[in-house]
Amino acid sequence: MGAGKDSCPKSYDIEPTCFEVNPPIAINHAKSICEQMGMTSSSIRVAMGLMIPNAKNPSKILYGLRNPQFHTEYKDTWGLPSVGMSQNDFLNLDTDPNSIQAVMEKLAQNKLNGADLTPERLIGWTGRLRSPKVDPQFTEPYYLIMVDLITNPVDPSKIPMSTPAYSNLLWLTPDEHAEIVTASPNKACGACSQLAFAAANQGKL
């Protein structure tokens, strides 16, 4: 299981709960930590996805979905056989802001490592992989549970890339600790914000 609270960094506003990063444990701990924050499980809003740079066109970003137990090297594209998705399912929200809806619908038809991914119970994580060429400190993906999303319906295509979509974030990192942080433009990338808005609104979480 997890590494235990004693191994967690102590610099967080909320004492983190350590655990192995896998869907069932992530779901349970997300609920627990959110309840500590005064949020009910039904108020948790989560988007799932992966953001990686597109080396062929650095101004674009490819979006897809990632199984945290499916490890692969940093690539321009990503395959997800465990959730029935292939590289052809990767979507570029820069050109099709509504395409995340198709991803959410496909997710709802699959189960990931025993986690129920129906829209009614979609509590999960997002992931971002930084290339070692960009940031040597982040050679592994990290996972993110987004809570307390802005719930007003918004057209994702009209969201500025600099708009943070969420206030409280629960980071799930490969070294088995969770962290509550407060998002701001310098802490949360606008592209992640856009993805979060699109998934939360079009996925009707």
How many degrees, rounded to 5, is the angle at CA 146 between CA 84 and CA 19?
80
Q: What are 66-101's pLDDT values in tens digits? A: 333 222 322 322 222 222 333 333 333 223 333 434
The model scores a pTM over 0.85: no
Residue-range domain boundaries for the chain: 5-202
Closest CA to 3 of 140, 123, 174: 174
pLDDT tens, residue order, the chain (205 aa) = 233 333 323 222 222 222 223 333 344 444 454 454 444 333 333 333 322 223 333 222 223 333 332 223 223 222 222 223 333 333 332 233 334 344 444 444 443 333 333 332 222 233 332 333 333 343 333 333 332 222 223 333 433 333 333 322 333 322 323 333 323 322 333 333 333 333 333 332 2
The residue count of the chain comes to 205
- Six-digit token string for 14: 């909320």
- Six-digit token string for 37: 């924050």
